[in-house]
A and B are shown apart, each in its own frame.
Chain A
């Protein structure tokens, strides 16, 4: 009887081996899938069981987001001060819908999971202190953010404002309107989260949808045709190609697109350009001049200059992921004509548009934009400080050409209407009025304004876009709609708002 018993013993062995093999599959091979499954709340409960770090401003330590103790199962509630205003920066932190913005990009620091916090975590365990997450200090200047946000929302505009420090790339303001309140997504009440999420993510064309994609961070996730603000890139390329402010350019009121018989490209309101030099063309934003200029330069030169401004970069992270700005195919003269005035397939993010001004302000060197100033340990000691970094390592244009272009922009500002001009401040700017949509002539254009100031010692560069004409409809221009907001933002940044 021992032989079958021994075989049964082997069967027992086989059963346990089978169990172990299966456990290996579940706990090693498939472990990650199960761990990260959205329905697995373990990671979440773990994260909520410790105090998530704060998101603070580098200016005065203003708190953008913090966690406070509650007495329900998720032990800490995430709170956002001025939630809608800072939402494009902070993002949200939801147990139901994940996270976005800084909350997502620096999650490891905020939860305390980052390797650099490991030793502290260990000592927390030993000493019995409640484990806490580290803090993130962002570059945002609350004054700038407030000024830009109020300027946009008080007018009811849809769009975005970005303010940069030209010499470091620090993002002083990043506004996207309409916005949303991340507090509602941080609620511990799943129903509230669900309602908020549904109301913000409805199809804007649906009849009952009151919002226009409030959760989209227009500053970095949306690209727009830059319109005339793109002429800065064309001018920079031309200057680098040997042109000067006095180089004569086309001044006709319209030009026929090459390869077509009667499709014309016109100056604004069909006017003839008041001057015939490159400087005049930029100051008066003459379309025909830049159309021809772009074609003369050719796709390659245009691209290579644009690249040094950051256009075409597909891995820019601030550390929020930035949508790629691009020029489009540029595969014929007609396309080049239209691209030269920032139309056709040229698309820039508002951040990229601000980088145009910032690069010119910084003597032709584009700095890598950044939103995080410092990562801090729970005890506020510095873990990592971000240093200013050049974007590409190559100049977009020489220092001399940058100065030439700056002067052209000062002249452009002089020709720009809109409120908020000050006699004691020299601003260098460029407006844009970008057509878009299927029926561009009858669709209210996007109004752009990009600028830096003070022109002689640039402290801030901004870009403003107001989608679809703001409050002026078809008559909107960059100057009448967007310029005032840009100037308010500049004032705030210079401490005189």
Chain B
């Protein structure tokens, strides 16, 4: 609890650059360098595809590479301007994944176009659209970075976000199938020439809501209920909100016949609960609920039963309608690729239905082999871990919960989709973040990344005048959160900080100042970070009323 180190290990420059209160290195140069590296990889991939597909090698590829670098350089400049202390690896990881995704989508376009010519049909590729979506997504990314200067302001609108999230989730289910159904899943809203999956955005909005809600009500969830068999169960009434929220989301997902997001969503809620309360019992309760839900879904819905049969042996159900054909083709592709892969552009990824969306990882595994697939998974892991590091280092509870939740959601989504493609778990419809073709997924995930960057920026940003602003931005009474009210003890001031990631320890005494602030129920709003920081900085502050020390006991 007191070690603010990232899972990835101690951040060296943070440990060294802060002896005299000097600002930590922004590491923007590293970011730019890594972005250039990602550009080189993406451009080489494009060259390989064109070579293997016997396309004419032209200078156009250089322009594509430069355009790609240009787009991400713009993003880089925005980060430099608005989040200078953000983690330097997050954006390059995203750029790399996005680039590989674009190359794969373009490559599958070529194959589909060839097939279309053979049967004399017209075909227009989707790669240009994905490029457009990327540009839009980066614009949105910039928007989020500029508008949300401090992630804690999000807590002010948490209920609004929660409501919008629910509406977005429910909307496609409520709309007529004609404008909401694609391939049996009612998760779309079609606007003429393009369509969106509002669920992707709902994912983030609800995550914000849950994180904020849990921070506010953390105390409640840590109160022990009855002890059964030596296990302290949570009180039944505390389960209420979470069961309702999860139940609503899950039923909407089930109604939409889209199981992937449901699985993802439930996993993230569980993770948030566990982190907020530090009580594993929530995970146990959640998992048993999940198990029961699975059994129920299996016996109630034939499409769930079919998915499970396809998972157990896709070769067996190969010829059945809705059977294992797709998964089997993915496995054939992965097997054909083997360790080294067939080479970019030399495989047949288009054989798998949905090759450029849900099954894009199968294409990567086929053409780049186990090595390529493993590398992509490692990039995802790196991305998730850097996000998690930001969450660990940031000083406020909400930031920790939100950052951790977003990072976990990303990796969990990868697990659900990659696990489905490689037959580790039953296949559920879900996209690979940044790789898959699809505007909604791309837009939403860029928002996610913007938030991760914002949090990691907050974690490393020196805070000389941080005292003033939060007080000016006092949250409305209705959204004043109990957890923020951690009157830090003065003990923190005297203890040398073991925490290098918390630069220039602000005087914790200042943090205690708002104690007599507006006396609102359930407690006065406090500076959002002062309390948590005092807590993190000081082992001696065990007498503080903050929940941290309490729950640790």
Chain A interface residues toward B at CB < 8 A: 1-6, 8-13, 15-16, 18-20, 22-24, 26-28, 30-35, 37, 39-43, 45-46, 71-73, 128
Q: Tell me which of B1, B54, B424 contacts A22 (CB under 8 A).
A: B424
**How long is the Cα–Cα vector from A20 to B351 in the complex, in angstroms?**
23
- Decide yes or no whether B359 CB sits under 8 A from chain A: no
> By the criterion CB–CB under 8 Å, are A1 and B347 in contact?
no
> By the criterion CB–CB under 8 Å, are B400 and A40 in contact?
no
Closest to A25 in B: B422
Closest to B411 in A: A12
- Decide yes or no whether B317 CB sits under 8 A from chain A: no
List residues of chain B with CB within 8 A of the CB of A30: 331, 335
List residues of chain A with CB within 8 A of the CB of B365: 23, 27
**How long is the Cα–Cα vector from A120 to B115 in the complex, in angstroms?**
28
List residues of chain A with CB within 8 A of the CB of B422: 19, 22-23, 26
- Decide yes or no whether B271 CB sits under 8 A from chain A: yes
List residues of chain A with CB within 8 A of the CB of B536: 2
List residues of chain A with CB within 8 A of the CB of B381: 12-13, 16
> By the criterion CB–CB under 8 Å, are B336 and A19 in contact?
no
Q: Tell me which of B274, B374, B380 contacts A23 (CB under 8 A).
A: B374
Q: Tell me which of A2, A24, A40 contacts B332 (CB under 8 A).
A: A40
> By the criterion CB–CB under 8 Å, are A28 and B339 in contact?
yes
Given A1-B278, A24-B370, A71-B118, A34-B334 contact (CB < 8 Å):
yes
Spot the interface stretch: B71-79, B286-294, B384-392, B436-444: B384-392
Interface string of B403-438 (1 = CB under 8 A from A): 010011001101100110011100000000000000
Interface size on B, residues (CB 8 A): 62
18 further A-B contacts with Cβ under 8 Å, apart from A22-B423, A23-B365, are A1-B401, A9-B392, A15-B412, A15-B414, A16-B378, A18-B415, A19-B415, A20-B377, A22-B422, A22-B424, A24-B370, A28-B370, A31-B336, A40-B329, A40-B335, A42-B332, A46-B348, A128-B54
> By the criterion CB–CB under 8 Å, are B335 and A19 in contact?
no
- Decide yes or no whether B333 CB sits under 8 A from chain A: yes
B93-123 residues at the A interface, CB under 8 angstroms? 115, 118
**How long is the Cα–Cα vector from A9 to B332 in the complex, in angstroms?**
32
Q: Tell me which of A4, A27, A32, A128 contacts B334 (CB under 8 A).
A: A27
List residues of chain B with CB within 8 A of the CB of A26: 331, 334-335, 422-423
B461-480 residues at the A interface, CB under 8 angstroms? none
List residues of chain B with CB within 8 A of the CB of A4: 274-275, 278
Smallest Cβ distance from A25 to chain B, in angstroms? 8
> By the criterion CB–CB under 8 Å, are B335 and A3 in contact?
no
**How long is the Cα–Cα vector from A26 to B315 in the complex, in angstroms?**
14
- Decide yes or no whether B491 CB sits under 8 A from chain A: no
A-B contact pairs, 21 of them (CB 8 A): A1-B548, A3-B552, A5-B388, A6-B7, A11-B408, A12-B385, A13-B7, A16-B414, A18-B415, A19-B418, A27-B373, A28-B339, A31-B339, A34-B331, A34-B332, A35-B335, A35-B338, A40-B336, A42-B366, A45-B348, A46-B348
Smallest Cβ distance from A23 to chain B, in angstroms? 5
List residues of chain A with CB within 8 A of the CB of B397: 1
Q: Tell me which of A2, A10, A34 contacts B392 (CB under 8 A).
A: A2
List residues of chain B with CB within 8 A of the CB of A12: 381, 384-385, 388, 407-408, 411-412
List residues of chain A with CB within 8 A of the CB of B278: 1, 3-4
List residues of chain A with CB within 8 A of the CB of B336: 31, 34-35, 40, 42-43
Given A42-B347, A45-B348, A23-B373 contact (CB < 8 Å):
yes
Smallest Cβ distance from A408 to chain B, in angstroms? 60
**How long is the Cα–Cα vector from A73 to B7 in the complex, in angstroms?**
50
**How long is the Cα–Cα vector from A129 to B331 in the complex, in angstroms?**
31
List residues of chain B with CB within 8 A of the CB of A45: 348
- Decide yes or no whether B37 CB sits under 8 A from chain A: no
Smallest Cβ distance from A387 to chain B, in angstroms? 37
Given A8-B271, A19-B424, A3-B334 contact (CB < 8 Å):
no
A-B complex: 9 closest residue pairs judged by Cβ atoms: A34-B335, A9-B7, A40-B332, A27-B370, A15-B415, A12-B411, A22-B424, A31-B335, A4-B275
**How long is the Cα–Cα vector from A4 to B7 in the complex, in angstroms?**
11
**How long is the Cα–Cα vector from A22 to B425 in the complex, in angstroms?**
10
**How long is the Cα–Cα vector from A12 to B268 in the complex, in angstroms?**
12
Given A10-B7, A43-B336, A1-B373 contact (CB < 8 Å):
no
Given A1-B401, A2-B400, A15-B411, A23-B335 contact (CB < 8 Å):
no
Smallest Cβ distance from B324 to chain A, in angstroms? 11
**How long is the Cα–Cα vector from A72 to B116 in the complex, in angstroms?**
10
- Decide yes or no whether B276 CB sits under 8 A from chain A: yes
Closest to A12 in B: B411
Closest to B535 in A: A1
List residues of chain A with CB within 8 A of the CB of B260: none
List residues of chain B with CB within 8 A of the CB of A27: 334-335, 337-339, 365, 369-370, 373
Smallest Cβ distance from A128 to chain B, in angstroms? 7
Smallest Cβ distance from A15 to chain B, in angstroms? 4
List residues of chain A with CB within 8 A of the CB of B411: 12, 15-16
**How long is the Cα–Cα vector from A34 to B338 in the complex, in angstroms?**
10
- Decide yes or no whether B328 CB sits under 8 A from chain A: yes
Q: Quick one: which of A5, A34, A40 has the most chain B CB within 10 A?
A: A5
List residues of chain A with CB within 8 A of the CB of B4: 2
List residues of chain B with CB within 8 A of the CB of A73: 115, 118
Closest to A13 in B: B381
Smallest Cβ distance from A121 to chain B, in angstroms? 12
Closest to B415 in A: A15
- Decide yes or no whether B235 CB sits under 8 A from chain A: no
List residues of chain B with CB within 8 A of the CB of A32: 335
**How long is the Cα–Cα vector from A170 to B548 in the complex, in angstroms?**
89
**How long is the Cα–Cα vector from A43 to B351 in the complex, in angstroms?**
12
Closest to B370 in A: A27
> By the criterion CB–CB under 8 Å, are A41 and B351 in contact?
yes
**How long is the Cα–Cα vector from A13 to B407 in the complex, in angstroms?**
12
**How long is the Cα–Cα vector from A34 to B337 in the complex, in angstroms?**
10
> By the criterion CB–CB under 8 Å, are B415 and A6 in contact?
no
Smallest Cβ distance from A13 to chain B, in angstroms? 7
**How long is the Cα–Cα vector from A19 to B329 in the complex, in angstroms?**
18
- Decide yes or no whether B266 CB sits under 8 A from chain A: no
B345-373 residues at the A interface, CB under 8 angstroms? 347-348, 351, 365-366, 369-370, 373
List residues of chain A with CB within 8 A of the CB of B400: 1-2, 5
- Decide yes or no whether B3 CB sits under 8 A from chain A: yes
**How long is the Cα–Cα vector from A326 to B333 in the complex, in angstroms?**
45
Q: Quick one: which of A19, A20, A40 has the most chain B CB within 10 A?
A: A19
Smallest Cβ distance from A145 to chain B, in angstroms? 37
> By the criterion CB–CB under 8 Å, are B332 and A37 in contact?
yes
**How long is the Cα–Cα vector from A96 to B520 in the complex, in angstroms?**
77
Closest to B418 in A: A19
Smallest Cβ distance from B50 to chain A, in angstroms? 12
- Decide yes or no whether B133 CB sits under 8 A from chain A: no
**How long is the Cα–Cα vector from A27 to B336 in the complex, in angstroms?**
8
> By the criterion CB–CB under 8 Å, are B351 and A42 in contact?
yes
Q: Quick one: which of A9, A13, A71 has the most chain B CB within 10 A?
A: A9
**How long is the Cα–Cα vector from A335 to B252 in the complex, in angstroms?**
82
List residues of chain A with CB within 8 A of the CB of B347: 42
**How long is the Cα–Cα vector from A6 to B366 in the complex, in angstroms?**
34
List residues of chain B with CB within 8 A of the CB of A15: 411-412, 414-415
Q: Tell me which of A5, A33, A39 contacts B391 (CB under 8 A).
A: A5
- Decide yes or no whether B298 CB sits under 8 A from chain A: no
